[in-house]
């Protein structure tokens, strides 16, 4: 969801974080030389300097803190980022639009019966670990909907993540404010005609691994991976807000709309 930034909110205390690349380091040096800055824990806003991967790392690091993140692209694609400039940073922050997104919560039971949890901003994906196709059973809110999916795997994507791996797997692009999730197969072998499903963002997706010893599967929440899983539950965590700031006319809603027309 995109909203106007709170006119009463001030971003006087800025923290700069950078990726490990030379472009990220040089960008931080240029901004730190020009603007006063504070440690992240004291900041009103975090300015992330890198690519989309670094933005995801930053969002995970400050998840639950309520701190807004303003990214400037020092990577390649930069879908989540604003254009980089050392000029007028305070002015850009003052008029930035806020996009509020919620992560997915993944709960996993592995082959030893241990339970783990992780959150994902883009998607939760289940991927075969061997040369053999994975076989999975899919249930929605406790009701079995697909008794067997055979293929490379499946993923559940948020609207903000629908233009990432989900799009590469031929899943649908979701508007940012759509109250939906995309459930998308990855190289499905059976059923051949199944292209996935659009689900309300209140749905709980349960994926049980069939023949887990013979056909091992890994579960990945963004960059966090667990191997040899037996069952995975995925649901949107509506209690956790993540705030991304974007320049006017450069919002996530606008970018997602452009993606649907191939820009």
Neighbouring residues of 177: CB distance < 8 A, sequence distance ≥ 6? 1, 2, 159, 253
- Cα Rg for the chain, rounded, in angstroms? 20
Q: What are 12-30's pLDDT values in tens digits?
A: 899 999 999 999 999 999 9
Average pLDDT over all residues of the chain: 93
Query: Given the structure tokens 């040899």, which residue do they identify?
Result: 228
Percent of the chain with pLDDT over 90: 86
Residue 258's pLDDT band (cuts 50, 70, 90): confident
**Token pair 């292209």 in the structure block, residue:** 195
How high is the pLDDT of residue 190? 93
Domains of the chain: 2-102+240-260 (3.40.50.10330), 104-236 (2.60.200.30)
Task: State residue 251's pLDDT score.
Answer: 76
Task: Give the DSSP H or E segment for 24.
Answer: helix 22-34
Average pLDDT of span 42-62: 96
Residue 32: pLDDT band by 50, 70, 90 thresholds? very high
pLDDT at 263 (0 to 100)? 62
Region 83-110: mean pLDDT is 96
Quote the CA–CA distance of 235 and 101 in Å, as a whole number.
14
- Residue pair 148/135 in contact (Cβ under 8 Å)? The answer is yes
**Taking residues 32-46, what's their average pLDDT?**
97
pLDDT tens digits along 210-235: 999 999 999 999 999 999 999 999 99
What is the pLDDT at residue 9? 62
Average pLDDT score over residue span 190-196: 92
Q: Is position 52 annotated as part of the catalytic site?
A: yes
Supply 174's token pair.
């979701």
Catalytic residue among 12, 23, 52, 233: 52
* Winning range, highest mean pLDDT, from 73-77, 81-85, 190-194: 81-85
Locate the DSSP E strands across 41-133.
45-50, 69-73, 97-101, 104-110, 115-120, 123-128
Tell the burial category of 33 from Cβ atoms under 10 Å away from its Cβ (0-12, 13-18, 19+). exposed
Helix residue ranges per DSSP H, the chain? 22-34, 52-61, 89-95, 165-168, 252-260
């Amino acid at each position: 969801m995109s909203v106007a930034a709170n006119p009463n909110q001030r971003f006087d205390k800025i923290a700069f974080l950078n990726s490990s690349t030379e472009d990220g380091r040089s960008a931080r040096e240029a901004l730190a030389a020009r603007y006063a800055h504070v440690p992240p824990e004291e900041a009103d806003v975090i300015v992330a300097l890198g690519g989309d991967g670094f933005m995801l790392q930053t969002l995970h690091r400050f998840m639950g803190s309520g701190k807004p993140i303003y990214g400037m692209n020092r990577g390649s694609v930069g879908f989540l980022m604003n254009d980089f400039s050392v000029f007028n940073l305070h002015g850009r922050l003052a008029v930035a639009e806020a996009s509020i997104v919620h992560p997915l919560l993944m709960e996993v039971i592995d082959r030893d019966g241990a339970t783990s949890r992780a959150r994902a901003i883009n998607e939760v994906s289940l991927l075969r670990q061997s040369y053999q196709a994975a076989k999975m059973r899919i249930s929605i809110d406790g009701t079995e909907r697909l008794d067997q999916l055979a293929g490379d795997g499946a993923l559940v994507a948020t609207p903000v993540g629908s233009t990432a791996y989900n799009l590469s797997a031929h899943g649908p692009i979701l508007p940012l404010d759509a109250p939906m999730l995309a459930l998308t197969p990855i190289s499905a072998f059976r059923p051949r005609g199944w292209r996935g499903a659009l689900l309300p963002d209140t749905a709980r997706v349960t994926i049980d691994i069939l023949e887990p010893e013979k056909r091992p599967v890994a579960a990945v929440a963004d960059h966090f991976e667990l191997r040899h899983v037996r069952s995975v539950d995925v649901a949107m965590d509506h209690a956790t807000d993540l705030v991304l700031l974007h320049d006017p006319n450069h919002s996530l809603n606008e970018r997602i709309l452009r993606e649907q027309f191939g820009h």
